[in-house]
Amino acid sequence: MARAEHLIIFQKVYDLIREVYKDCNNFPKSQRFILGQRIENTAVNILEGIIVANSEENKFSSLLKVSVEIEKMRIFIRLSKDLAFLAFKRYEILTAKLDEIGRMCGGWIKSL
């Protein structure tokens, strides 16, 4: 079993988390600890799910949970853009990264 840090998807999610933390710090103070916290927690849940899936014999159920977290993240990011907490350009960047992670997760699921 390879260490999770060596997985490309792990690195992509790690980079996404770094971006998300920067963006959520720019949210209005009233939302930083509500929607911003949900986005940050969901991003960390995705990373944790990748680590767990990599270490398990039966990866399928863990990867399905990661897939659900990715969908939640998409919705939270879109909501942030619609509420003008997130600039459109940042929304495009984050969704592009999230789409790539989603494709990688889907490919991993299909390979099982």
DSSP 35-86: HHHHHHHHHHHHHHHHHHHHH-S--HHHHHHHHHHHHHHHHHHHHHHHTTSS
Domains, in order of start, for the chain: 4-111 (1.20.1440.60)
- Secondary structure (3-state) at 105: helix
Structure tokens at 53: 């899936």
- Secondary structure (3-state) at 112: coil
User: What pLDDT shows up at residue 6?
Assistant: 80
Q: CA 11 to CA 65: how far, in whole Å?
A: 19
- Are 65 and 49 within 8 A, CB to CB? yes
In order along its 112 residues, the chain shows pLDDT tens digits of 567 778 899 999 999 999 999 999 999 999 999 999 999 999 999 999 999 999 999 999 999 999 999 999 999 999 999 999 999 999 999 999 999 999 999 999 999 8
- Are 76 and 42 within 8 A, CB to CB? yes
User: What pLDDT shows up at residue 1?
Assistant: 52
